[in-house]
Homo-oligomer: A and B are copies of this chain.
């Protein structure tokens, strides 16, 4: 059957998952490697996925009162140095400009790896009174981090993201913001990417450089590795104090605001590829797919076939569906089936003379290969619910994979066995960096992805150091 046809140019996932991933990225024309080492070109088919994610998040952000801004792409080195933990975290991966207009710069400029500092500098200048709070600014931009090893969408010298930076009067309001935007990211997974996440607070060792607390969403890839997919930070008052942000409070005294930041990046495209893809290529969730439906005419030279396809295309466009009709008669239907399966288009509609005679078209779902018939006459009424069904199937499939991967363990040996071939293990431990590092060493790279549960004094001992366990964390190997 055509929908099971192998696209031989793609390495099988089980043979070499890393190679499969690169093959899919390139063959599906999501990206290609730029001649600038470590940097990629985001091609139309990949960039369009990002635009759909942007559309969803922009609406959600704006509904919460967040406003978009754009700040400089460079940070003077002298300004960068003020928040100690932050600068220690980022300094090793900075790209630094030292010449401008042919002259040596007195104060070198760091290409932004993240913009906490620039937002702090802005807020310092525009915050006056408690009436100005809350402030919720968001920025869509690219950032640069000088990475030694790179992988498309997952780790690169430059990536696209959004970074929200907010100020609040109270710790409570700031923490609520942190949770709210983590929920929005989680919703984006559930409603748009068809990706379920494990979510929670990061351990002290894994949190963001300069944050009081970091919250994360972690997805599970097909190979069993975790992928940090978005983070939301409570920054406390550290940046505000380091950069001199204050305001006249309700009691007429100068107060320091509580700060948050939150972001997701084009990493989400990597998550979509590795959660849903299969040996035939990409499988795109309908709500981010640049093309949601492809119409393939069968025996297209026979009377009425192309006309019916054109009419169908027009009706679907009218309905707001992103549709492509491939009427290129130099390619066979079989070639097209394989091509659009590789490209991950969620739904294929086949229309041939026999379908026309019966008044029905054949629908084929990319995720399952299932075929069904639909009335040609009213097809535009049916497709939206078919796409919704596909979305739900994809989400449930990913959720079953995630949930079946989680194992509760009580020792480092059990943990090691549980995550050796992928998946999450939940284990109680003391939460100290030393024990995490030991776990990482023993398991060959397993890390605490996030906290599942804070423990009251339950008398459990940390299996590494023997001290009282304070948290139960999710451990996994991760990208």
Q: Which residues of A contact B (CB under 8 A)?
A: 32, 34-36, 39-44, 47-48, 50-51, 67-76, 79, 91-102, 108-109, 111, 118, 121-122, 125-126, 137, 141-142, 144, 146, 148, 158, 160
Contacts and interface: CB of A to CB of B under 8 A. Distances in A.
A97 B100 contact: no
A95 B102 contact: no
Nearest to A36: B72
Given A92-B101, A109-B95, A47 B32 contact: no
A226 to B, nearest CB: 25
A318 to B, nearest CB: 15
Nearest to A44: B67
Given A36-B118, A48-B68, 16 more contacts: A36-B72, A39-B74, A41-B70, A41-B72, A41-B118, A42-B71, A74-B95, A74-B158, A92-B101, A94-B100, A95-B99, A95-B101, A96-B97, A97-B98, A97-B111, A99-B108
Nearest to A72: B39
Listed from nearest, the 9 A-B pairs whose CB atoms lie closest are: A44-B67, A39-B72, A101-B146, A42-B70, A96-B99, A100-B146, A97-B97, A36-B72, A98-B98
Interface centre among A98, A101, A125, A158 (most CB of B within 10 A): A101
A423 to B, nearest CB: 33
Contacts of A76: 35-36
Nearest to A45: B67
B102 A92 contact: yes
B121 A73 contact: no
Nearest to A101: B146
A133 to B, nearest CB: 15
A137 B44 contact: yes
Given A95-B97, A98-B98, A51 B72 contact: no
8 contacts: A40-B72, A42-B69, A44-B67, A47-B69, A48-B67, A93-B101, A95-B97, A97-B98
Given A44-B137, A95-B109, A121 B69 contact: no
A142 B73 contact: yes
Nearest to A58: B51
A71 B46 CA distance: 12
Given A47-B68, A47-B69, A70-B47, A34 B98 contact: no
Nearest to A43: B69
A36 B75 contact: yes
Nearest to A34: B72
Contacts of A44: 67-69, 137
Contact of A160 (B35, B70, B99): B70
A125 B36 CA distance: 13
Given A51-B68, A68-B44, A68-B48, A35 B79 contact: yes
Contacts of A40: 72
Contacts of A35: 76, 79, 121
Contacts of A48: 67-68
A118 B71 CA distance: 24
Contact of A121 (B34, B96, B102, B142): B34
A141 B32 CA distance: 19
A451 B43 CA distance: 37
Contact of A74 (B36, B96, B121): B36
